[in-house]
Amino acid sequence: MNYITFPTAQAAVEKIAQEFVLYSQLDRPVHISLSGGSTPKLLFKTLATPPFNTKVRWENLHFWWGDDRMVVPSDPESNYGEVQKLLFDHIRIPVENIHRIRGEENPDQELARFSAELTACVPNLEFDWIILGMGSDGHTASLFPHQTNFADENVALIAKHPESGQIRISKSAKLIEQAKRITYLVTGSAKAEILKQIKTTPAEQLPYPAARIRAKNGITEWYLDADAAKLL
């Protein structure tokens, strides 16, 4: 895996924003999966401002989420709601290019609907780019330590946060691993120790889904700021 360190979180998200421009120039639909969290908020704010808001050909990009909480879009916990507020409200993007998890719906029914949409819309279920974060416990998307079935053949699943009990829908590990490219975007000194473990310890010896989930036939990389990378 590639570990790429940037001096600041802002520098990391600007690099990602530049790559959004390049992806949008491909003459086909490009399927990108977004992450929740504080650092992605920086990314969405950056994309919503010049030059990126006009350079990106938004009509070519299709947006999905690695996971979302089963809450209404106006809830601050909604990953989709944050992107809507920080990015989509400020750009011109076809509504059919936004493939959200409908957190306001019944979880079982929404899981079935979302799984069908994934299967119908993403060619060969291979995402062009999946951007992931990592929690302080090593989880990614809503795939948590000690409760992730890495062999699950489903494209998505219902997950429960181990502490709060909050219900979410998440892409499965197997679906994520089919991506052409996976980028973990991790910032802050609170993640430094766990990143050191991930880099120095065989993945199968660790309980962290973020350590084990990698693109089977593509690129896996870590975009880190200096604080997160300080022990590497």
- What domains can be seen in the chain, in order of their start residue? 2-225 (3.40.50.1360)
Q: Is 155 exposed, middle or buried (0-12, 13-18, 19+ CB in 10 A)?
A: buried
Q: What are phi and psi of 81, to 5 degrees?
A: -60, -35
**Which tens digits make up the pLDDT trace of 87-120?**
999 999 999 999 999 999 999 999 999 999 999 9
Averaged over 176-195, what is the pLDDT?
Answer: 97
Cβ atoms of 36 and 5 closer than 8 Å: no
Q: Rounded distance, CA 149 to CA 127, Å? A: 20
Q: Could you write out the DSSP letters of every residue in 28-97?
A: S-EEEEE--SHHHHHHHHHHTSTTHHHHS-GGGEEEEESEEESS-TTSTT-HHHHHHHHTGGGS---GGG
Average pLDDT over residues 120-140: 97
Cα-based distances in Å from 212 to 24, 123, 201: 29, 24, 11
Model confidence band, residue 140 (pLDDT cutoffs 50, 70, 90): very high
pTM (two decimals): 0.97
Query: Please, is 77 exposed, middle or buried when counting C-beta atoms within 10 Å of its C-beta (0-12, 13-18, 19+)?
Result: middle
Residue 78 vs residues 36, 53, 72, 157, 168: alpha-carbon distances, Å? 8, 23, 7, 17, 10
pLDDT category, 1, cuts 50, 70, 90? confident
How many Cβ atoms from other residues are within 10 Å of residue 50's Cβ? 7
Measure Cα distances from 80 to 12, 99, 130, 199, 209 in Å. 21, 9, 15, 31, 22
- The pLDDT assigned to 201 comes to 95
Decide: residue 192, CB within 10 A, 0-12 exposed, 13-18 middle, 19+ buried.
Answer: middle
Per the structure block, which two tokens stand in for 170? Answer: 């998440």
- The per-residue pLDDT for range 192-232, each reduced to its tens digit, is 999 999 999 999 999 999 999 999 999 999 999 999 999 99
Q: How many residues does the chain have?
A: 232
Residue in the structure block whose two tokens are 């957190």: 103
| C-alpha closest to that of 44 among 74, 76, 81, 8 | 81
Q: Using 50, 70 and 90 to split pLDDT, how confident is the model at 134?
A: very high
* Distance in angstroms (rounded) separating the CA atoms of residues 35 and 67: 7
Q: Quick: pLDDT tens for 22-81.
A: 999 998 999 999 999 889 999 999 999 999 999 999 999 999 999 999 999 999 999 999
